[in-house]
C-alpha cells in the first residue's frame, strides 16, 4: 500500500510540472488553422505574462500565398482558472510579411478594379493587432488557442483585413 501511495504521489507531481505552460515548459510548437494556416511557435519570456509568437504558413483567404507573422503577446488576466484548465486573455501586436498571388476571389466576384495594385505586387508588408484566448490544460502540456487579428496592409497599398485562427501547441 505504501508503494502504491508513493507511485501515486510521484505521478501527480510529474503531471503538475508538465502542466506548467509558460513556466517550466516555456516553448511550445504546434499548428494553426484558419487565416493563416500553418505552423506556430510560442515562447514565454517572463513566466506567463509575456510571450513571442511566430507563425508561418499560407493565407488561404487573403492576398498572400505565403505568410509569416511575429507578435509580442501579453496575457494580462486569467478569465478562468479551474482544476483541469485555465484560460488567459491574450493581447498582442506585431507585423507580417507575405507573397502576393493576386486579388482575392471575393474582390474578383464583387468588383472589377482597374488598375489593381495587387496584380503587379510581389510582396505584402503590414502591422497586426491580436485579441484571443488560450486554453492551457493542466493535465497535459497542451495549449489550445483562438485568436482574431486586425491586419493593416501597409505595402503595396494600405488596406485593413481581418483574420481568425484556431490552434494547438505542445510544450515539450
pLDDT in tens, 69-100: 999 999 999 999 998 999 999 999 999 998 86
pLDDT, mean of residues 142-151: 95
| Rounded CA separation 156/166 (Å) | 28
Structure pTM? 0.76
Q: What's residue 2's pLDDT? A: 53
Q: What is the mean pLDDT of the chain?
A: 80
Note the Cα 76 to chain centre separation in Å: 16
Better-predicted residue by pLDDT, 108 or 92: 92
- 155 pLDDT above the threshold of 60: yes
Taking the domain 2-170, which CATH number applies? Answer: 2.40.160.20
Domain boundaries, the chain: 2-170
Is-cis flag, bond preceding 159, omega within 30?
no
Question: What sign does the dihedral 59-61-63-69 (CA atoms) show?
Answer: negative
- 129 pLDDT above the threshold of 80: yes
3-state secondary structure of 106: helix
Amino acid at each position: 500500500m505504501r508503494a502504491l501511495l508513493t507511485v501515486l504521489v510521484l505521478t501527480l507531481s510529474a503531471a503538475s510540472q508538465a502542466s506548467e505552460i509558460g513556466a517550466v515548459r516555456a516553448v511550445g510548437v504546434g499548428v494553426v488553422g484558419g487565416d493563416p494556416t500553418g505552423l506556430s511557435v510560442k515562447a514565454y519570456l517572463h513566466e506567463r505574462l509575456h510571450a513571442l509568437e511566430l507563425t508561418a504558413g499560407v493565407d488561404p483567404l487573403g492576398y498572400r500565398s505565403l505568410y509569416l507573422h511575429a507578435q509580442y503577446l501579453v496575457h494580462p488576466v486569467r478569465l478562468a482558472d479551474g482544476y483541469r484548465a485555465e484560460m488567459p486573455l491574450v493581447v498582442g501586436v506585431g507585423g507580417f510579411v507575405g507573397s502576393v498571388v493576386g486579388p482575392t476571389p471575393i474582390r474578383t466576384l464583387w468588383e472589377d478594379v482597374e488598375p489593381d495594385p495587387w496584380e503587379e505586387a510581389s510582396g505584402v508588408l503590414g502591422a497586426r493587432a491580436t485579441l484571443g484566448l488560450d486554453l492551457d490544460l493542466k493535465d497535459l502540456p497542451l495549449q489550445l488557442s483562438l485568436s482574431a487579428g486586425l491586419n493593416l496592409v501597409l505595402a503595396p497599398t494600405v488596406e485593413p483585413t481581418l483574420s481568425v485562427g484556431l490552434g494547438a501547441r505542445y510544450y515539450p
